[in-house]
Amino acid sequence: MKPHIPAAAVLVLACGAQLMVVLDGLVVNVALPQMRLDLGMSPSALQWVVNGYLVTFGGLLLLAARAADLIGHRRIFLAGVAVFTLASLAGGLAQNPAMLIGSRLVQGIGAAALAPSSLSLLTATHIGEHRGRALSIWSATSSSAGALGLVLGGVITSALGWRWVLLINVPIGAVLFVLASATLAPEHARERRSLDLSGAVTVTLGVGALTYGISQTTQHGWASGRVIAPLIVAAAALGLFILAEQRSPQPLVPLSILRRRNIVVANTIIAGLGAIMTATMYFLSLYLQQVLGDSPLRTGLALVPMSIVLTVGAIASKTLLPKFGIRRLLAAGGTLMAAGLGWLSTIGTHSTYLLHIFGPTLIWAAGASIVIMPCVALATTGIGAEHAGLASGLVNTARGVSGAVGLAILGTLAATVTAHSGAADHLDRIVHGYRIAMLAAAILAGLVALLALPAGTADAAATPEDQTPSETPSEAADTGR
């Protein structure tokens, strides 16, 4: 950060980048029918508008995060903004399916650079009480962006057309690039260290193949060769990655960092939360449109109260954390999520909004909102500057990949239940599948509540040397140690 530049400017940068990345992963979904009609896309090609982004984003997250530690967070952030913005422009101007899909692949590359950089910028420039406040705002942005994506997708598609769900990123990206250039100080010359090439190739191939394989389940099923083959490749590549990291003098992901209980527990909970949030948003959107007959715009507006609760709760978690502690906050959040999702599993073909959507979504959103900030703080506290990008990359990888995995598993569960349902009416069979998927998500939320026990003792096991030089014990406690 340049001298005399307020830390709030970095917070705006980080939250703006995170908002753009998370929104883009969802806002396109509402516009898919218009894209298909306008460009004459086949169903398989249309699927790659979503999956192309997920594959490059998930596959390159750890590589981009580690590159930021070695090359500089400012350089990677600026490069990510530039790539993401230009790819958004190309996608918004696409004249054929190939151009649109290609732009989405490149967008994923830019997003992979932006996501870990947005968080590592905060942890590098904010300490003590300021870090806790910044993380709560960043968490609020991240948690509310999911629901906001459905709202904006409906509004933009209805008012301006599908191209603007991509073109809207261009002015936002331009502002972020200018602000980052004016705010972030150029990094000092760093010791020349080579990037762990074998680790980078194997982890990128492994995570990319895993994301690709999972993304194919909704169309081809788990038993298809198009799913099994990439999953085998993913398992082999990730196994080779572990071997490479054990032998590398400068590993991409030092395995010692994975022996820290706070990092393992926090990222496990974040993975569960990512699966729950992604699947819940997906099923709610389909249920409101396919079963209750709402328009995309009305569907988005129906989820506005949930978005507000996600935002307010995440900000409030900054105040709640020192009063109740990590264990109680996570237990309460997981319990509320389980209760809300259990209530959602009672939906029917003629459910009312207030009783079956409004009420349960507010409860589960309240639970989800108070889980994110403690987990992010737990996963990034005590990490030295040389590993800040890596810790942020692990958080984003856990959440992003688990979202794809969770959606694939719960989506397959819903489809299987629907196919074997004995209900006579087609909509009744669909709703039966959604109910079982929501119930499974409620069980997963209950497991998140159980993980509060090891989370509550995770930082207590941290050693004094785990703290960064800039943190005093009181500052560490403020951020959730």
Residue 430: alpha-carbon gap to chain centroid: 27
Least confident of 53-67, 276-290, 403-417, 460-474: 460-474
Give the right CATH number for 7-186+252-478 from 1.20.1070.10, 1.10.10.10, 3.40.50.150, 1.20.1250.20: 1.20.1250.20
pLDDT at residue 480 in the model: 33
Domain boundaries, given as residue ranges, for the chain: 7-186+252-478, 196-251
State the Cα angle at 230 between 226 and 235, rounded to 5°.
150
Among 58-67, 161-170, 362-371, 469-478, the minimum mean pLDDT is found in 469-478
Q: Quick check: 119 and 18 in contact, CB under 8 A?
A: yes
Tokens read off for 202: 């194997």
* Surface-to-core class of residue 293, CB atoms within 10 Å of its CB (0-12 exposed, 13-18 middle, 19+ buried): exposed
- Is the model's pLDDT at 167 over the cut of 60? yes
Buried b (16+ CB within 10 A) or exposed e, 326-355: bbebbbbbbbbbbbbbbbbbebeeebeeee
Over residues 5-22, mean pLDDT: 78
Mean pLDDT of the region 119-127:
68
- Compute the average pLDDT of residues 352-362: 92
Higher pLDDT, 101 or 253: 101
Work out the average pLDDT over 356-363: 93
**pLDDT tens for residues 135-147?**
777 777 776 676 6
Give 427-439 pLDDT, tens digit per residue. 899 999 999 999 9
Sign of the torsion formed by the C-alpha atoms of 193, 198, 201 and 203? negative
Cα torsion 317, 154, 46, 228 to 10°: value is: 30
Q: Which amino acid is at 251?
A: P
pLDDT at 115 over 70: yes
pLDDT digits (tens, 9 = 90+) for 304-349: 888 888 888 878 887 888 888 888 888 999 999 999 999 999 999 9
Compute the mean pLDDT over every residue in the chain, rounded to the nearest whole number: 80
Name the CA radius of gyration of the chain, rounded. Answer: 21
Rounded Cα–Cα distance for residues 341 and 338 (Å): 5
Provide the pLDDT for residue 194: 65
CA dihedral sign of residues 24, 29, 31, 34: positive
How much is the average pLDDT of 161-178?
90
* Contact by Cβ (8 Å): 387, 70: no
pLDDT in tens, 217-235: 767 778 888 889 999 999 9
Average pLDDT, integer, range 259-269: 83
Q: Does residue 476 carry a pLDDT above 50?
A: no
- The one-character DSSP state at 252 is S
For the chain, the distance separating the N- and C-terminal CA atoms, rounded to the nearest angstrom, is 25
Band (123; pLDDT cuts 50, 70, 90): low
Average confidence (pLDDT) over 397-417: 81
By mean pLDDT, which of 73-82, 90-99, 210-219, 357-366 is the weakest? 210-219
Residue 167 tokens, joined: 């073109």
Query: Among residues of the chain, what percentage have pLDDT more than 70?
Result: 84
